[in-house]
Amino acid sequence: MTIEEISEKVNTSLAEEFEIEQSLLTPDANIKTTLKLDSLSIIDLVAIVEDTFSIKTDAQEIKKIATLGDLYSYIQSKL
């Protein structure tokens, strides 16, 4: 799966689940400061990623990811 395909799926899920404006969903967007996902929201991000891509992740690793672009790359590494 290409980074573009991953980003499209992630962005669609984030917009739907977290009610985030599409315009904010850029690769350099910081997950905590720009998208405003706090430590509890990251827990739900884990479920979204695992269910969307049928992969098993590590919540502690996802908590350390800074930007959306880094998240796309992390997901690609698990596929």
- Residue 28 contacts residue 67 (beta carbons within 8 Å): yes
Between residues 3 and 47, which has the closer beta carbon with respect to another protein?
47
Show the binding pattern over residues 40-69: x = contacts another protein (CB under 8 A), - = does not: xx-xx-xx--x--------x----------
Between residues 28 and 61, which has the closer beta carbon with respect to another protein?
61
Q: Which residues of 5-28 are buried (b: 16+ CB within 10 A; e: fewer)?
A: ebbebbbebbeeeeebeeeebeee
Residue 33 as a binder of another protein (CB under 8 A): the answer is no
